[in-house]
């Protein structure tokens, strides 16, 4: 059994993860090493998913050629910043994720049947694939990197270009790198506790 620390993170870590983290529109041009990409996943993979289903699939675009395949499918507002980022991640999920349940949930392989209906598979893949995409962004910030997530793109175009004849579907796109203050807007407000939360 693993040792638990059960102490809060240092204040500087809370800043890095949440309080001073920003969505960056521009990044330093330096490449992100393949080992760092791998480390991102090796952290994010530990985040919880229903039935340990792990439906997320991550496609890391690290070359100009790969970015050129993505850029026509980005909205015009997002295209230039996507081409300029060191890494674009296609945050995707696999509609056939249940095929891996016998490996991932070995004490109850019959749980794969819970996702037999296409609607159930789609809902679980979208929910848990989104959770895992958030874990990947938090992992990036944990490693001192910055993120620029974007929903402004043509999912059908990305699916046709990268996932044709497969069960993978694009969820959203995220640039990753070391952010710069270029085109960094003042921080937008958040909802006060009373508008977003209830304590019962």
d(CA 98, CA 100): 5
The gap from C-alpha 58 to its chain's centroid, in whole angstroms, comes to: 7
Q: Is there a contact between 61 and 90 (Cβ–Cβ < 8 Å)?
A: yes
CB of 112 to a second copy, least distance (A): 14
In this complex, which beta carbon is closest to a second copy, that of residue 65 or of residue 165?
65
In this complex, which beta carbon is closest to a second copy, that of residue 116 or of residue 188?
188
Q: At what angle do helices 34-44 and 118-142 cross, to 10 degrees?
A: 120
In this complex, which beta carbon is closest to a second copy, that of residue 80 or of residue 90?
90
Phi, psi of 66 (to 5 degrees): -70, -40
Q: Is there a contact between 57 and 44 (Cβ–Cβ < 8 Å)?
A: no
Q: How far is CA 14 from CA 10, 19, 96, 141, 193, in A?
A: 7, 6, 36, 10, 18
Listed in sequence order, the residues at least 6 apart from 82 whose beta carbon sits closer than 8 Å to its beta carbon are 67, 70, 71, 74, 88, 150, 173, 175
Give the helix/strand (H/E) hosting 176: strand 168-177
CB of 141 to a second copy, least distance (A): 8
In this complex, which beta carbon is closest to a second copy, that of residue 71 or of residue 130?
130
CB of 80 to a second copy, least distance (A): 19
CB of 138 to a second copy, least distance (A): 5
In this complex, which beta carbon is closest to a second copy, that of residue 80 or of residue 125?
125
């Amino acid at each position: 059994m693993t040792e638990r620390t059960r102490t809060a993170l240092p204040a500087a870590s809370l800043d890095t993860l949440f309080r001073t983290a920003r969505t960056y529109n521009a990044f330093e041009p330096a490449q992100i090493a393949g080992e760092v990409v791998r480390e991102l996943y090796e952290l994010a993979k530990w985040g919880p998913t229903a039935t340990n289903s792990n439906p997320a699939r991550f496609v890391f675009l690290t070359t100009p050629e790969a970015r050129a395949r993505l850029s026509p499918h980005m909205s015009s507002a997002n295209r230039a910043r996507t081409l300029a980022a060191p890494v674009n991640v296609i945050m995707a999920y696999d509609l056939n994720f249940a095929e891996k349940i016998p490996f991932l949930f070995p004490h109850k392989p019959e749980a794969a049947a819970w996702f037999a209906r296409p609607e159930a598979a789609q809902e679980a893949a979208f929910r848990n694939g989104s959770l895992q995409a958030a874990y990947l962004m938090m992992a990036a910030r944990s490693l001192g990197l910055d993120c620029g997530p974007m929903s402004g793109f043509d999912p059908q175009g990305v699916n046709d270009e990268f996932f044709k004849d497969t069960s993978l579907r694009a969820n959203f796109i995220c640039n990753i790198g070391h952010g710069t203050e270029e085109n960094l807007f003042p921080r937008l407000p958040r909802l006060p506790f009373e508008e977003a939360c209830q304590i019962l």
